[in-house]
Amino acid sequence: MKTNIVSTASGKANVSALFFVKKSVQFSNVLSENAEKQVESVLNGMEDGPFEDLELLEIDEQSTLFVNAAKERGLSSLDHLRMAAFRLAKKASKRQIPMVSMMLADAAPEQFKSILLGLHYADYKFDAYKSKQKDAFQVTFEIVAGEQAAEFKKIAEEVAVENKAIVLAKNLINTSASDLYPEEFVANANTIAKYTPGLSIKVRNMKQLEKEGFMGHVTVGKGSSHEPYMITLSYDGSKGNGKNSRTSKDHLVIVGKGLTFDTGGLCLKPPKSMPEMISDMSGAATALAAIQAIATLKLPIKVSAVCCLAENAIGNKSVLPGDIFTAKNGKTVMVDNTDAEGRLVLSDGLAEAGLIGATHIVDLATLTGAMVRALGYAVAGFFSNDDALALNVINCGEACCEKFWSMPLEEEYADALKDHFADLKNTGSDAGAIAAALFLQEFVPENTAWAHWDIAGTAFVSKAWKYTDFGATGFGVQTLIELARRMSSASDKCENEADNGEYAAVEV
C-alpha cells in the first residue's frame, strides 16, 4: 500500500472511493453538482436496487466505489471509518486496482487519521511460517486533501510511526513460543533500543534478578530451560527537544506481562486453551512497541517500560504449589496455583517502577480467563487507584477506538488473598479478575497513580474481529501512546492554569 497526499486530484486514479453513512455521503462538498445528483439517486435507491457495500458504479464518468462507513454494530463513527477504509483497501488489492483516489478535503484530521489507520491495518499480514509467501497487489491511495495537504502529511508521518509499533507488537505476539523465548525477546528489545534515538535499555538476567530479590521472575521462570529476564527501557522527553519549551514532570512507567509461553506450570492448562498462550507476552510486546513510538515521536514526557519476561514451563526445578517466596517489596507469597503466574512477575515489575521513580504506572497483562468471560474480546477491563488516570484511560481509549471498562478494586474480596503461612497467596475470590487486581495492588509503590489493564480478551482473537482475521490485535499500543501524549500536554495546562502538581483529565 502506498499513499500519496495531494491538494488537487491528479486525474490518474482508476477508481475514486466514496464513503457513505446511511443515505448521505461523507466529505461530500468536493463532488460536482451533477455527481451529487447521481450519488443521491444511487443512495436513495438503495432499498430497491441490488446495491451493496463496496459496489463499483459510474458517477459522472468516473468509476466510484461506494463504501459503507456505518456497517458494523457498536462502533464509534471514527472506528466505522477505519473499518470502511480497511474493507476498501482489501477490495482494491483483491481487484488489483492500481490507484484509488479519496476526496478528503473536508475531512477532520482525526477522520483522516482513522481512514489511514484502516488502510494500514489492511496491509498487515503474518506469513512468516507459510511455505510460500504471497505478495498482495500494491494499491496506491491518492488522498486529495485540498488546503489540508500539509497538515495531513504530518499526520501521516505520525500514523506511520504508530502503525510500525502496532506491527511490531503483533509480530512479536504471533511468533511461536519456541522462536520467541525470553532471551529472544531481549534481543529484539536490544535492537529496538539501539536504533531508536533517546531510548536506553537495562537488562537483568536470572542471576541479577535473584541477587536483587526480584523473586517473582525467579519463581516463575526457574522451571524452564529458558531463563527469565526483566528489561527496563527508558526515554526521557522531559528535557524538551527544542520544539517543546514546556514539558511534563510526570514519569509514566508501563509494565508488561511477558510470559513467552504459559503452560500453567505444574497446575497444567488443558490442551484446548494452551496454543493461545503464545500471546501471554502481549503486555510486554505492547509496552515495548508503545515506548518505541513514544520515543520516535519525541513526546515531551518521561516514559519507561518494564517487560517482565519468563516462560511458565514444567521442569524438575518448577515452582511447586505451596512454595513460598519473598517478593521484592518484602511481602511473602504462597504459590497456590502455578497457573496464576502473571501476577508474580508483575510484582517485580511494579517494584521496579517504584525504584525508577514512577508517578504513574500502567500495567498491561493477559492476566485472567475471568476477564475474557466477563468482557470478551471487544472490551478491556481495567482497575485503577486514581480517578483522574482512570478517566484519562477511558478517554484516550475512545479516541483510539479501543474500549475500556472500569472495574472495581472491591475490598470485600481482599481478605480472600490472605494465606495461613505467608502474607498472601496468589489466588483469591471467585471474582478472578478482581482477585488478580487486588493481588497486584499489594505491590503498587506508595503515592503512585496506577492502572491495571487486563487484556486477556482483547490482545488475541481466534476468530475474525474488526481488522484481525486471527491472532494478535495490537490492542493497547495506540491508547498508551495517546496517554503519554495527553499526559504531556495536560501537564502544560496545569502549569499554566493552576500549579497543583496534577494533570487534568482531558476531554475527547
Q: Which amino acid is at 290?
A: A
Binding-site member from 97, 281, 370, 438 for ligand BES (CB under 6 A): 370
User: Are 338 and 369 a contacting pair, CB within 8 Å?
Assistant: no
SS3 333: strand
Characterize 264-302 residue by residue with b for buried, 16 or more Cβ atoms within 10 angstroms of its Cβ, and e for exposed. bbbbebeeeeeebbbbbbbbbbbbbbbbbbbbbbebbbb
Q: Scanning residues 483 to 502, which ones bind ligand BES (CB under 6 A)?
A: none
Least Å distance between CB 473 and ligand BES? Answer: 12
DSSP-derived pairing of the beta strands 55-59 and 24-25:
unpaired
Residue 415 — φ and ψ, nearest 5°? Answer: -65, -25
The helix (H) or strand (E) run that includes residue 480 is helix 477-497
| Cα separation values, 302 from 97, 283, 352, 410, 451, Å | 45, 20, 15, 31, 17
Provide the mask over 240-259, with x wherever binding to Zn ion is found by CB under 5 A and - wherever it is not: -------------------x
Selected binder of ligand BES within 64, 318, 427, 473 (CB under 6 A): 427
Which of 227, 339, 348, 363 lies at the binding interface for ligand BES (CB under 6 A)?
Answer: 339
Q: If contact means CB under 5 to 8 A according to the sort of partner, which of Zn ion, ligand BES, none does residue 370 touch?
A: ligand BES
- Write each residue from 100 to 139 as x if it is in contact with ligand BES (CB under 6 A), else as -, in one continuous string: ----------------------------------------
Beta strands 15-21; 24-25: pairing state: antiparallel
Selection from ligand BES, Zn ion, none that 250 binds (CB < 5 to 8 A by kind) is: none
Among 142, 227, 262, 363, binds ligand BES (CB under 6 A): 262
- 369 part of the interface to ligand BES, by CB under 6 A: yes
Examine residue 341 and tell whether it contacts ligand BES (CB under 6 A): yes
Strands (E), 47-114: 55-59, 62-68, 99-103
Q: Is 98 helix (H, G, I), strand (E, B) or coil?
A: coil
The footprint of ligand BES on residues 449-488 (CB under 6 A) is 456
- Which span (261-269, 385-393, 427-435, 498-506) binds Zn ion, by CB under 5 A? 261-269
Q: Which is nearer to ligand BES, 181 or 503 (CB)?
A: 181
Please tell me the distance from the alpha carbon of residue 363 to that of residue 234, in angstroms, as a whole number: 16
Q: Which residues, in sequence order, are CB contacts of 68 under 8 Å at separation 6+? A: 20, 21, 53, 54, 84
Helices marked H in 234-309? 282-296
Nearer to ligand BES, 69 or 220 (CB): 220
**What is the closest distance, in whole angstroms, from the C-beta atom of residue 339 to Zn ion in the complex?**
4
Write the burial class of residue 133 (CB in 10 Å: 0-12 exposed, 13-18 middle, 19+ buried).
exposed
Q: Work out whether 342 is an interface residue with ligand BES (CB under 6 A).
A: yes
Of 164, 202, 269, 298, catalytic: 269
Q: In angstroms, give the least distance from the CB of 67 to ligand BES.
A: 34
Nearest approach in angstroms of CB 419 to ligand BES is 14
Contact between 262 and Zn ion per CB under 5 A: yes
Residue 153 falls in the annotated catalytic set? no
- The one catalytic residue in 343, 403, 425, 485 is 343
Q: Does 431 bind ligand BES (CB under 6 A)?
A: no
Asked whether position 280 contacts Zn ion by CB under 5 A, the answer is yes
Piece of the chain touching ligand BES by CB under 6 A; list 197-205, 215-223, 234-242, 361-369:
361-369
Active site residue 343: yes
Find the residue with minimal CB distance to ligand BES. 369
The runs of H, that is alpha helices, within 136-229 are 149-174, 182-195, 206-212, 215-221
Which residue, 277 or 451, has its beta carbon nearer to Zn ion? 277
Residue closer to ligand BES (CB basis): 338 or 488: 338
Binding status of residue 276 toward ligand BES by CB under 6 A: yes
CA quadruple 186, 293, 253, 456: dihedral, nearest 10 = -70
Measured distance CA(320)–CA(324) in Å, rounded: 9
Catalytic residues: 269, 343
Q: Which stretches of the chain bind ligand BES, using CB under 6 A?
A: 262, 276, 280, 337, 339-342, 366-370, 372, 427, 432, 456
Q: Which stretches of the chain bind Zn ion, using CB under 5 A?
A: 259, 262, 280, 339, 341-342
